[in-house]
Structure 1
Amino acid sequence: MKSLMRLFLSEPNLAEPLYRQVVAKARSPHWYVEGQVPDTKEGRFAVLATLLALTDLRLERGGDESRKTSVALAECFVHDMDSQLRQEGVGDPVMGKRVGSLVGALGGRVGAWRRAIEGEESWEAVAGRSLYREQVPSPASLAHSLDELKHYWRGLEGRGDEALIGGVLP
């Protein structure tokens, strides 16, 4: 009976508080006003995926629990994207492909931001692709977003694993 109950009761994802906080950061109006990221589904996804990529990179640099949270954070993202697509009426036959595409877009950002953090590529170039698909509206908008992303990264680096896992973001 116990194993049958496990089929119907899912354990809460340990990264849910962190995921909710990253989503809240991605909804900050400054990204879309001063940063001039298009306030569209694609633009909002770009900001969320960018912040998640940076958060994931910080989690990868932490201890065992932090690295476990990195996996759990990806699971939160997949669950959220699945839910969002279902709300938009996307059906099961194409759901896997659409979610897979979004996960791939996140993975591409993780790789690009890893190169930026390691100094192999400029932050400006990565931000231009990650947030604007290289269609940067103005130098001022890129400068704003770049400052915010650097501030976010420095804040992530300054957070202890436990605080970060608990959703305490810069």
Structure 2
Amino acid sequence: MVVLARAPRFYAELGVPDTVEGRFEMISLHVTLLLRRLHGVDRALADAVLSAMWIDLDAAIRELGIGDLSVAKKMKLLASNFYGRAAAYDAALKNADDAELQSTLVRNVYDGEAPAPAAVAALAAYARDIAASPELDIDRRAA
């Protein structure tokens, strides 16, 4: 998911901030989309995806130079942020109106500062496409 979340298109064409926070937001979006697909299908795989995400984020935080004493606090904040975003994306994707999804993306991915409306619409369409796809092969959509 990290490789997919770092696809250059998101940052160069869709205006996602190319920052630690922007990357976390894209990881959160992609993991949420994957977990939606796995819901009720394979709980063990969903748990493994989450576990791998947390292990990877822990390592990334340490690489950024966050001290051991602060890692747990930072991970708790990231978990809170992730689960809040996952719930918001899930609710927005259940609504057929793109206004809620676009608003959620602006609030989270773009930190309240939307790029061109076409970029937000394209990211919303991308998320909807993955959410509606009957297959889990999402690599081709990010390219």
Q: Scaled by the length of structure 1, what TM-score is found?
A: 0.74
Q: 1:30 maps to what in 2?
A: 9
Extract structure 1 runs of 4+ deviating beyond 2 A: none
Unaligned stretches of 5+ in structure 2? Answer: none
The CA deviation at 1:169 is 3.1
**Change in CA separation of 1:132 and 1:61 when aligned onto 2, cut-off 3 Å:** farther
CA–CA separation in structure 2 for the residues paired with 1:72 and 1:59 = 11
CA–CA separation in structure 2 for the residues paired with 1:129 and 1:120 = 19
Q: Scaled by the length of structure 2, what TM-score is found?
A: 0.86
Equivalences for residues 63-78 of structure 1 within 5 A:
66-78=42-54
CA contact (8 A) 1:26 1:44 kept: yes
CA–CA separation in structure 2 for the residues paired with 1:58 and 1:130 = 21
Matched, 1:50 2:29: yes
Unaligned stretches of 5+ in structure 1? Answer: 1-21
Matched, 1:153 2:131: yes
CA–CA separation in structure 1 for the residues paired with 2:112 and 2:96 = 18
CA–CA separation in structure 2 for the residues paired with 1:34 and 1:87 = 28
User: Equivalent of 2:104, from 98, 119, 126?
Assistant: 126
CA contact (8 A) 1:32 1:38 kept: yes
CA–CA separation in structure 1 for the residues paired with 2:73 and 2:66 = 11
The CA deviation at 1:120 is 8.5
- Number of aligned residue pairs: give it: 137
